[in-house]
Amino acid sequence: MLEFFSQLQPCVVAMEACGGTHFWGREIGKLGHEVRLIPPAYIKPFVKRQKNDAADAEAICEAAVRPTMRFVPVKSEETQAAAMVFRLRELLIRQRTERVNDFETLGF
């Protein structure tokens, strides 16, 4: 994919925001392209028919050129790593609380 983008003149590259697109956003941005990540909830209203790759691509293109569209900034590796640690910590706390509640229900 990077080979494809390296052969293009710098342009706007719009993608639906998710964990993986931050990596691609960083890599494509290094090639001189303007990367726009759009939250999935902001793309959904632009899907005109059944959800498939072609309909999603059309909706992303439509959403990306809207003047009032809000974009997600591309996260750095450090920011993504910190967010992952935070989410993992929250998961562990939630699981620990579940176990404590399980023991209390069993009368321990």
Cβ-contact 42, 66 below 8 angstroms:
no
CA distance 46 to 62: 7
Answer yes or no: do 61 and 10 share one domain: yes
**Does one domain contain both 68 and 22?**
yes
- Count how many residues are written for the chain: 108
51 and 11 part of one domain: yes
| Together in a domain, 99 and 56 | no
Instruction: Calculate the average pLDDT of the chain.
Output: 92
Domain identity same for 40 and 53:
yes
The pLDDT score that the predictor gives to residue 50 is 83
Mark whether 85 and 67 lie in a shared domain.
no
Model pTM?
Answer: 0.75
| Domain interval for residue 55 | 2-74
CB 74 within 8 Å of CB 37? yes
- pLDDT of residue 52 exceeding 90, the answer is no
Q: Residues 70, 81: one domain?
A: no
62 and 99 fall within a common domain: no
Detail the DSSP E strand segments found in the chain: 12-16, 34-38
